[in-house]
Amino acid sequence: MLYRVSLNGKIYEVEVEKGEAVIQAEFDAAQPQANAAPAPQAQAAAPVAPQAAAPQAAPAAAGSAAAINAPMPGNINAVKVTSGQAVKKGEVLIILEAMKMENEIVAPKDGKIGQIFVQKGATVETGTPLIEVL
């Protein structure tokens, strides 16, 4: 099966068969994954997994709040920040466990943490607000 995974600003296409994973392609992530990044080779029959660790906020104007939503259903394993804390773009904010994998939810921009909507141990669905970056 072919999966598309986002990690640290790069998108990887990974093929998994019989417990072995092979990276098929690598791309720079140009924008948050509201829409899937264009793949160089479209494979119609291959399922594509949800984007892991991709900030789910639309690009925001400078100075406005960006709510980060859960990219997939899962459990909150850790909240790494507190309200009012300054963060840098790409800094890990939350660890979301989904399908026995830990996914890092990162800051989409430099800013300050506003409201935190979840706590450790919470179960979330796709699109559930997790945290706000001001």
Q: Say which DSSP state 49 is in.
A: -
Please check whether residues 78 and 102 belong to one and the same domain: yes
Q: Does any domain span residue 103? A: yes
DSSP element (H, E) containing 10: strand 10-17
Structure confidence at residue 94 (pLDDT): 92
SS3 11: strand
15 and 46 inside one domain: yes
Reported as a single tens digit per residue, the pLDDT across 70-108 is: 888 999 999 999 989 999 999 999 999 988 888 998 988
Average pLDDT of span 34-49: 46
What pLDDT does 26 receive? 64
Do 45 and 103 lie in a common domain?
Answer: no
Please provide the average confidence, as pLDDT, over all residues in the chain.
Answer: 74
Look at residue 59 and tell me if it is in a domain: no
Q: What is the total count of domains within the chain?
A: 2
Are 47 and 80 members of one domain? no
What pLDDT is attached to residue 1? 67
Higher pLDDT, 9 or 113: 113
Q: Quick check: is 104 in a domain?
A: yes
Which structural domain, as residue segments, surrounds residue 103? 66-133
Domain assignment present for 57: no
User: pLDDT by residue (tens digit) across 51-61?
Assistant: 444 444 444 44
What residues form DSSP beta bridges with 105?
Answer: 94
Residue of higher predicted confidence among 121 and 50 = 121
Q: What is the pLDDT of residue 12?
A: 72
**Adjacent-strand bridge partners of 129:** 69
The pLDDT assigned to 77 comes to 92
What percent of the chain has pLDDT above 90? Answer: 17
Q: Nearest Cα to 93, choosing from 103, 107, 83?
A: 107
Residue 3, both tokens: 């999966």
pLDDT (0 to 100) of residue 58: 42
Query: Is residue 125 domain-shared with residue 72, that is, in the same domain?
Result: yes
| Residue 10 domain-assigned (yes or no) | yes
